[in-house]
Structure 1
Amino acid sequence: MSQYIRILRAEHLKLKRTFTRKLILTAPLLTLFLCFMLMGGRFFQSGSLNWWYTMILPGALTLMCSGVLRKDGGKLRYRPILSLPIPASLSWLGKIGEVVILFFGASMFLWVALLAVGLLLPGTISAMDSLLGTLAIFATFLWQIPFCLFLADRVGTFVTLIISMIGNFGAGVIFLPTSDLWWIPYGIPSRLMCAIIQVLPNGLPVPAGDPLLDQSVILPGLLINIGWFVLLSFITAKAFQGKESK
């Protein structure tokens, strides 16, 4: 564990004064700015959370993953870390952990900002619901961190960004009303957010009495995507371990 903490600290130091670390603030602020300009009013808080997970977060998370990889990848092709006397898989888990920290920081900054704005503007959701929504988005997006790291390493940032944007928005719209949604981890955040903030991925309110308002799906949805996070972290770490033999 102490070795992993040292790896996390090293990953954190690599990002000092980089755009990747600044995304903790710039991505939530962009969300708030766009929502204020296009919506505002009593729907500002719920609208911001909706914009966050459907439009801004997929891109921001991809850029975080790409930024973490860029320090050791590129022309160096990970030689600085592959030459260290530590398992390559542990270095990969360190990169996953660093993106998790960045993502959590951005999530909490967004929630605090929504609380502050809520003191000035009337809202449609409570502070606890906005916190639950923020944490639900965080937990259900975690699996995308090892997945995006793997894709960015193999196919590049641009392709990963396109896959992320289409997957997150498309799955939420196409599979939301169907039982197939539970097999598509991209779509689970949309299902949970319908129950928590009562807003569809397209920004419209969920109609009263709609089954999408059922909150019993929250815990299963969280467990499914956290399970994907653990599984993909293990699989991608093993795949990165294979670079030592090349």
Structure 2
Amino acid sequence: MLQTYLKAENLKYKRSLFRKLIILIPTALIMISMVFIFIGIGLGGFSSAMVSNWSMPIASLSIVILCHLVNNKDQKHKYRTIYSLPIDLKKTFISKTILIALNHLIISLFLSLITIISEGVSSGVSVAIGHTGYFILGYCLLWLSLLWQIPFCLFLDQKIGFIGSVIINLFASALGGLFFSLTPLFWFFPYSWPAKFMVTCFGVLPNGLLVEADSRYILNLGESSLLVLISVLAMLILSALFSRWYRRQVYRN
């Protein structure tokens, strides 16, 4: 049944900016990373600059933009397209969350492909092929650590608007990445989870430098698995909570 809702939501964004962001966001990230390399900030190399900029804060910003486009689609019509149909609004919210998550996953996989190609150019094809699995796994773990932000940003965008959501997510992402991700407090500050996975999977510190292989900042397998579990649970709990809120909000409007 949920598949029907997902197909209906997906049809709304055919040939829209929502779809085009799959290409536009990686393109923007490539350009930003090249600027960082040019001015001497990306000292770990192009791949390090890519993953560093993605984790802090472009990934969070991309979720804010995707959530705003999804919300704006129904708000523009004052929810008339929802009122006229006998649908479950909780499932509608969940389908929106899944659609945004899938788009974000495609962007993440696209970025992993770009990283593999860049490593092939800089370090050789054999090295890039040998690390292909690590790059794909790394970007997938970054994606998992960001999933909880989707229902939260759908809520935040409706409550305080697009600009407010951008400011809060940019600030929190920078705060989490630069200050909490390298301390034990990262467990309690979700915005630091992508940066922690970046250090663990890619060996890149929040400042773009490479970390030593035996660094205490790198999570072991058990800690990584626990963080994945916490990330998934956070997404499920927030999706359940905000789907109920969405149903009340739409009826109120």
TM-score of the two chains, using structure 2 as the length reference: 0.89
Q: Matches of 2:25 and 2:181 in 1, distance apart?
A: 26
SS in structure 1 at match of 2:121: coil
How many correspondences in the alignment?
A: 243
Pairing 1:60–2:62 present: yes
Q: Which moves more between the two structures, 140-149 or 33-42?
A: 33-42
Q: Matches of 2:157 and 2:44 in 1, distance apart?
A: 38
Counting aligned pairs with the same residue, the percent is: 28
RMSD: 2.0
Q: Counterpart of 1:170? A: 175
Q: Matches of 2:113 and 2:157 in 1, distance apart?
A: 30
Q: Matches of 2:233 and 2:216 in 1, distance apart?
A: 25
Q: Counterpart of 1:131? A: 136
For residues 199-219 of structure 1, the C-alpha deviation after alignment (integer angstroms, 9 at most, x for no partner) is: 111212224542112333211
Give the letter aligned to residue 112 of structure 2. Answer: W
Q: Counterpart of 1:90? A: 91
Q: Which moves more between the two structures, 168-177 or 129-138?
A: 168-177
1:205 equivalent among 196, 202, 210: 210
Structure 1 unaligned spans of 5+: none
Q: CA deviation at 1:38?
A: 2.5
1:242 equivalent among 245, 248, 251: 248
Q: Counterpart of 1:156? A: 161
TM-score of the two chains, using structure 1 as the length reference: 0.91
Structure 2 unaligned spans of 5+: none
Q: Matches of 1:92 and 1:241 in 2, distance apart?
A: 8
Q: Which moves more between the two structures, 230-239 or 98-107?
A: 98-107
SS in structure 2 at match of 1:85: coil
Give the letter aligned to residue 161 of structure 2. Answer: G
Give the letter aligned to residue 5 of structure 2. Answer: I
Contact 2:6–2:95 (8 Å) recurs in 1:
yes
Q: Matches of 1:242 and 1:42 in 2, distance apart?
A: 48
Q: Counterpart of 2:226? A: 220
Give the letter aligned to residue 233 of structure 1. Answer: S
Contact 1:115–1:127 (8 Å) recurs in 2:
yes
Q: Which moves more between the two structures, 233-242 or 112-121?
A: 112-121
Contact 1:196–1:215 (8 Å) recurs in 2:
no
Give the letter aligned to residue 168 of structure 2. Answer: I
